[in-house]
Amino acid sequence: MSYTALYRKFRPAEFEDVKGQDHISQTLQNQIKANRIGHAYLFCGTRGTGKTSVAKIFAKAVNCQSPVNGSPCGECAMCKAISAGTSMNVIEIDAASNNGVDNIREIREEVAYRPTEGKYKVYIIDEVHMLSIGAFNALLKTLEEPPEYVIFILATTEVHKIPITIMSRCQRYDFKRITIDTIAERLMDLMQREGVEVEERAIRYIAKAADGSMRDALSLLDQCIAFYLGEKLTYDHVLEVLGAVDTEVFSRLLREILNRDVSKVIGALDELIMQGRELSQLVTDFTGYLRNLLLVKTSDGLEDILDVSTENLLQLRKKQS
Ligand SMILES: [Zn+2]
């Protein structure tokens, strides 16, 4: 059997699986339950926060023959066809490579035809900010008078590039960056299901490195597991694969900087470079380490802002005294 990347394998199939965007899932489910479905939605937010996943679940839910509490049943013919990507009702367009007027005109011609099965044709236009001015104008015409059986879901990472005329015709939903806790919890859960042994510290480091993106977190995790296939995934393994540095090393580096010992500082850096550490990552992590030290010094109860595991926090507190 061929290998499926984690982020594909665990792509959310229903609203409940989408993590960290409860405000959006809830609103969309309510709309489906009350049968107050809009014709144009704008999904904004940084990469890997669930925009396309939510769009597909929504497309399933509006076409589902027996939705459960506003969520797709996952069992009916429509749900199955959409999940398998064989339904004609869900049309995904990548605006990065289809950004011209002609591409949008094609859509305008298509929307004249009712769906042959199910209730709605759902057009998901990804990276919609890449459309040309002419394409946006053509799209606007369709958004002004959409047929009742058509739903447009426009997704973008750069909402400031969307013309105001388009925005004013869409319901806008802002996808939040996913917190480290939420990502870590999801990763732990998936690793249990996969039967892979992991250290909590390792998972937290990956969650932090993913910078709010669940997709990035899963890709990084995939990479780390592949490197140490069949072994327990430890914090040290993760640091090694991602080219990162342990806080112990930062502590030593800081002491040498405070002692103004230039040759020792350069020596320490040289050692890190020879170990193959990623320098830009080192700078980011070291800045984060200094930030955490300062915060610990300022006050108590900062666990949430610090983005560090309890163990690391104790270490930091020890450094303070
Ligand atoms: Zn269904």
Angle between helices 51-63 and 22-33 (to 10 degrees): 10
- How remote is the CA of residue 63 from the centroid of ligand 1, in Å? 7
Instruction: Tell which wins on pLDDT, 305 or 37.
Output: 37
- How remote is the CA of residue 15 from the centroid of ligand 1, in Å? 13
For residue 54, the tally of other CB atoms under 10 A from its CB is 23
Q: What share of the chain has pLDDT > 90, as a percent?
A: 65
- pLDDT of 46 reads 92
Boundary of a domain, candidates 174, 206, 241: 174
- How remote is the CA of residue 37 from the centroid of ligand 1, in Å? 17
Half-sphere exposure for 250 (CA within 13 Å, toward CB): 21
Boundary of a domain, candidates 120, 154, 174: 174
Q: What tens digit of pLDDT does each residue of 193-250 get?
A: 999 999 999 999 999 889 899 999 999 999 999 888 888 999 888 988 887 777 778 8
Say if residue 190 is in the same domain as residue 308.
yes
Say if residue 161 is in the same domain as residue 194.
no
- pLDDT of 127 reads 96
| CATH at residue 22 | 3.40.50.300
Whole-angstrom distance, CA of residue 144 vs CA of residue 147: 10
Residue 107 confidence (pLDDT) above 60: yes
Q: What tens digit of pLDDT does each residue of 146-177 get?
A: 999 999 999 999 999 999 999 999 999 999 99
Whole-angstrom distance, CA of residue 315 vs CA of residue 55: 43
Say if residue 142 is in the same domain as residue 62.
yes
Neighbour-count burial of 109, counting CB atoms closer than 10 A to its CB (0-12 exposed, 13-18 middle, 19+ buried)? exposed
Whole-angstrom distance, CA of residue 202 vs CA of residue 182: 15
Say if residue 204 is in the same domain as residue 118.
no
Give me the domain span that covers residue 309: 180-320
Tokens of 291: 């930030």
213 with 46: CB under 8 angstroms? yes
Whole-angstrom distance, CA of residue 59 vs CA of residue 78: 10
- How remote is the CA of residue 90 from the centroid of ligand 1, in Å? 14
- How remote is the CA of residue 74 from the centroid of ligand 1, in Å? 5
In the three-class reduction of DSSP (H, G, I as helix; E, B as strand; rest coil), residue 129 is classed as helix
- pLDDT of 314 reads 63
Instruction: Tell which wins on pLDDT, 89 or 251.
Output: 89
Boundary of a domain, candidates 151, 174, 197: 174
Per-chain residues with Cβ under 5 A from ion ligand 1? 64, 72-73, 76, 79
**Band of the pLDDT at 134, cuts 50, 70, 90?**
very high
- How remote is the CA of residue 82 from the centroid of ligand 1, in Å? 9
- How remote is the CA of residue 30 from the centroid of ligand 1, in Å? 17
- pLDDT of 93 reads 94
- pLDDT of 149 reads 96
Domain count, the chain: 2
